[in-house]
Amino acid sequence: MKLASLMAQLGTRLGKHRVLWWIARLYPPFVGAGIRVRATPGLESIDVELPLTWWNRNYVGTHYGGSLFSMCDPFFMIMLIERLGPDYIVWDKASRIRFRRPGRGRVRAHFHLSDAQVAAIRAEADVQPRTEPTLNVQVVDDHGEVIAEVERTLHVRRKDGPRQASRTEGAA
């Protein structure tokens, strides 16, 4: 049985937010960094937390940048895949992180996609060959200070929609 099929069956029985939670608890990069994930039942919001520990601490004793980046990696893509449904293809296309200050304790990121944002992305994907929304999240410490700002660009298109020709097609 394919992993995607198994996950779909589990998602139907347990709720997709619970399946995401279990996968995040067992996903080696998250386990290794100490990343914890909580999601709302409809995947409107996902909260991610990262404590400062010896295995995600850098040379100068603050959060390792790769762990901060990892804690923000897949969530907007997963949220859109689940909320748009099976008629759409969603991929991460680009990402950028800007470090604002050293992280010296527990840090958090709150991912949220409103119904209006999802509807706007769906509407654009329905009339364009593709859409590339850019979504932002801040990583903050326990005092609310911004540690990092992460920008994610996604690629969204309808499965049955027109595809743009690749650069190599038509080349002689």
Domains of the chain by residue range: 3-158
Looking at residue 10, what is its pLDDT? 47
Q: Are 112 and 58 in contact (CB under 8 A)?
A: no
Q: Are strands 88-99 and 45-50 parallel, antiparallel or unpaired?
A: unpaired
Confidence grade of residue 32 (pLDDT, cut at 50, 70, 90)? confident
Q: Which CATH superfamily does the domain covering 3-158 fall into?
A: Hotdog Thioesterase (3.10.129.10)
- Asked if 56 and 50 touch (Cβ cutoff 8 Å), the reply is yes
More confident residue, 8 or 6: 8
Q: Output the CA torsion sign for 115, 86, 150, 33.
A: positive
Nearest to 83 by CA among 135, 42, 38: 42
Most confident of 40-54, 66-80, 106-120: 106-120
pLDDT for the residue numbered 5: 55
Q: How would residue 17 be classed by pLDDT, with cut points 50, 70 and 90?
A: low
Residue 133: CB partners within 8 Å, gap ≥ 6?
Answer: 117, 121, 124, 153, 154, 156
Which residues neighbour 55 within 8 Å (Cβ) at sequence distance 6 or greater?
32, 33, 34
Which region among 66-70, 83-87, 168-172 has the lowest average model confidence (pLDDT)?
168-172
Lowest mean pLDDT among 33-37, 64-68, 114-118, 137-141: 33-37
Angstrom distance (rounded) from CA 48 to CA 70: 10
pLDDT attached to residue 172: 46
Mean confidence (pLDDT) of the chain: 85
Model-level pTM? 0.81
pLDDT of residue 43: 87
